[in-house]
Structure 1
Amino acid sequence: MSTRSTSPYGGAVLDTCCCLRLPQLFSTCVAFSLVADMGFQRGAIGNWSMSFWCVCFAITFIITIVEYCRHPSSFPFFWYNISVTYTCYAALICLSASIIYSITYVQFVPYGPYRDRAIAATAFSCIASVLYVIEVAIIWDCYKLKEIFFYVHTTRSLLKVLETFVAGVIFAFLSNTSLYLHQPALEWCVAVYSICFIPAAVVLLLDLAEWKYMLPRPFSIFQLVLSLLSVLFYISALVLWPLYQFIEELGGQPQRSSDEDCMDELTYNMCAWDQRLAVAVLTAVNLLIYVADLGYWAHQVSVGTEDQPRDSQEVSSLNSDIL
């Protein structure tokens, strides 16, 4: 039976995803409620984590309401791309919030009710990330079994999701402008993160709307060049950022103990030295992702094929069938 006449979501799969979203809503709601109840003692990291849990709760709630009120066959084709992409981001966001909140805040809180609330919030955040991963896995298997092409199944798009997500976390740490405004080399690093983020986000949006298939064949070559430039830029950032942040001769602080902000047992904020280290580690992580992206596009250009439907009209046929 042809899959073009049916919705990408099977009825059972849609029901399963909707059932998963109820505990997702509960977990994220409890997580940000517990942290919000800590008042001023939640600190900057608590505010950062709480805002992410609030965003996940709000968007999950909106998607749930929309899918409950409309029949699956009435959704535009790109809706499924958007919902799956959001679920991937939500899993990454909840996981990163759980890790960062626990290692930069929870372990320093004295034993008592505030520590219990922080531990409970971290636990519910972990539960939410697992639930989002399960939803992605269920949808992934559904699409694979039905042999339906979705951009999120492709290596290139998963890499773009990772690139933009890691860059977003870097930007969160760079909200502390004192980390880089004093040094032109560090300002260049911040420019690198922005320059590489924008085209990755644009390509991801093109894939979301499936405009990529409307673009000319040189798009693959353009992506190869873009990936190469991004790798070179990130290499420069990976060299300059640690040099000017941790080498004393260049104005950096080689040891954590040299940062006065890190001397307090509990500052309710992530100290500047930790932020510098986090950006350095995330820069290395994103460089590896961009290298993988470069390898992917080099392979596509050399082989002369792309990760796309078997015939060039399959996407448009799917769109017209679902609409």
Structure 2
Amino acid sequence: MPLIVLPSSQLLWVRVAALLFTCVAFSVAAHGASVNYSSMGDWCIFCWAFSFACTLLVLLVELFGLQARAPVSWSNFPITVACYASLLCLSASIIFPVYFLKDQNFHSEIRDHRIVSTVFSCLAAVAYMGEVSLSKARPGEVTGYMATAPGLLKVCQTFVACVIFILVSNPVSYDHHPALKWCMAVYCICFILSMAVVVLCVGECTGCLPIPFSKFLSAYGLLAAIMYFTATIIWPVFQFDKQYQRRGNSTNLITVSVLTALNFLLYLADLAYTARLVFVSA
């Protein structure tokens, strides 16, 4: 029967802080912030609740010493959770005040609840960023792939792609020209491959590939960088040129252009880090 282990470490207390901050954020928002029946409110509460549940799972596994029995790679899972949670809480910290505090006139109690949720969401984002900083690989340290810079970049790439999917789907803004459908194909293909890398690493299944994992990463990184480079050029041209332009949410279209360029830079950095790991190590 496993005994409860209470290691006193900086990482433990950062996780406990993140757990408490997310718990307060979604509890207060759900209790008295009047965000019911709002898609943005539901998204923010999901971000906090999901981060809370995953952090609680990580804490329980480590406190009971069950890492060896976990069906995932424990050198990859906690930092992957922390990185996704930091991005989720950061997005909620931006979305929640924009939709529920800016230019809103409500009863003072409702407004107070919303301010509290926003503050604790920001604190949770900072706590998760601290956990990522404490857990990431140091120079010369042997650790899981997800704790390295390319692994963390994979998480950011998939998260940015998810935001792009939301923006281009409501309303649909990629179906009036084949070039824009190519951009959508780029987003989908690169997202699937990046998520596949994350799942393979967390599930310790990288040996199942028919080619060496390092060669797969190099080939995929080069392909993704080239594909995103084309999308970075094509998307704004076919959305904002008067010859192809049609009515739509210009804010969403501009945001997608910026996020496409951001993901291109992330894939470019990923390619540079991967090439360094493969060729310098060799």
TM-score normalised by length of structure 1: 0.72
| 1:275 pairs with 2:252 | yes
Aligned pairs, how many?
276
| 1:164 pairs with 2:158 | yes
Contact 2:76 2:147 in 1 (8 A): no
The residue number in structure 1 matching 2:267 is 290
- Write the deviation string for residues 212-258 of structure 1: whole angstroms up to 9, x where unpaired: 467677543433222222122212222232233333431245xxxxx
Q: Once the 2 structures are TM-superposed, how far is the Cα of residue 285 of structure 1 from its aligned partner? A: 0.7
Q: Once the 2 structures are TM-superposed, how far is the Cα of residue 284 of structure 1 from its aligned partner? A: 0.9
What CA distance in whole angstroms lies between the structure 2 residues aligned with 1:290 and 1:204?
Answer: 15
The residue number in structure 1 matching 2:133 is 137
Bigger RCO (CA 8 Å, 6+ sep):
1
The residue number in structure 2 matching 1:308 is none
What CA distance in whole angstroms lies between the structure 1 residues aligned with 2:68 and 2:273?
Answer: 34
Contact 1:45 1:105 in 2 (8 A): no
The residue number in structure 1 matching 2:54 is 59
Corresponding letter in the other structure for 1:88: C
Q: From 189, 192, 201, give the equivalent of 1:198.
A: 192
Corresponding letter in the other structure for 1:59: C
TM-score normalised by length of structure 2: 0.81
Say what the alpha-carbon RMSD is for the aligned residues: 3.2
| 1:32 pairs with 2:26 | yes
> Judging changes above 3 Å, is the alpha-carbon distance between structure 1 residues 217 and 248 closer, same or farther for their aligned structure 2 residues?
closer
What CA distance in whole angstroms lies between the structure 1 residues aligned with 2:254 and 2:111?
Answer: 25
SS in 1 for 2:243: helix
Corresponding letter in the other structure for 2:193: P
List runs of 5+ in structure 2 lacking aligned partners.
none
Q: Once the 2 structures are TM-superposed, how far is the Cα of residue 72 of structure 1 from its aligned partner? A: 5.9
| 1:127 pairs with 2:123 | yes
SS in 2 for 1:108: coil
Contact 2:35 2:42 in 1 (8 A): no
The residue number in structure 1 matching 2:101 is 106
Contact 1:31 1:125 in 2 (8 A): yes
What CA distance in whole angstroms lies between the structure 1 residues aligned with 2:72 and 2:230?
Answer: 40
Corresponding letter in the other structure for 1:92: L
Which has more radius of gyration? 1
Q: Once the 2 structures are TM-superposed, how far is the Cα of residue 125 of structure 1 from its aligned partner? A: 0.6
The residue number in structure 2 matching 1:180 is 174
Contact 1:98 1:125 in 2 (8 A): yes
